[in-house]
């Protein structure tokens, strides 16, 4: 277990985390600090609890938007996959039709040649 010390909006905090998680947590803390600092500048003097609650609301809002966008992108990928299957069916149909036309064409040529 590792203890991380950091600041959010100039206030000291510390948390325990698993070994190897330090960089991920510090990266998240940096984003939280940026949001908290930005909000504190916008709203002036706000107690830490309210400020962190506002950060949570904003971060969760961003999370919901990302989740919705991911869902939309997953649906688009599914649609594209279905379109690809349809295109493959059409290609196979064209290949088979071309083969039949060639066979028919050869048959007609042979019939014409045999009559001459």
Position with higher pLDDT, 86 vs 64: 64
**pTM of full prediction above 0.85:** no
What would the two tokens of residue 57 be? Answer: 């609301």
Nearest Cα to 59, choosing from 82, 36, 37? 36
Q: What are phi and psi of 62, to 5 degrees?
A: -60, -40
> Who contacts 36 (Cβ-Cβ below 8 Å, separation ≥6)?
8, 9, 51, 52, 55
pLDDT value at 113 more than 80: no
Nearest to 3 by CA among 11, 12, 88, 14: 14
Percent of the chain surpassing pLDDT 90: 62
């Amino acid at each position: 277990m590792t203890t991380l010390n950091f600041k959010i909006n100039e206030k000291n905090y510390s948390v325990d985390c698993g070994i190897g998680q330090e960089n991920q947590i510090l990266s998240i803390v940096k984003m939280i600090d940026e949001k908290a600092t930005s909000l504190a500048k916008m709203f002036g003097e706000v107690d830490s609890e309210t400020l962190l609650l506002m950060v949570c609301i904003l971060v969760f809002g961003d999370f919901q938007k990302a989740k919705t966008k991911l869902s939309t992108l997953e649906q688009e990928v599914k649609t594209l996959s279905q379109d690809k299957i349809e295109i493959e069916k059409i290609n196979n149909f064209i290949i088979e039709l071309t083969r039949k036309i060639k066979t028919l064409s050869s048959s007609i040529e042979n019939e014409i040649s045999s009559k001459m």
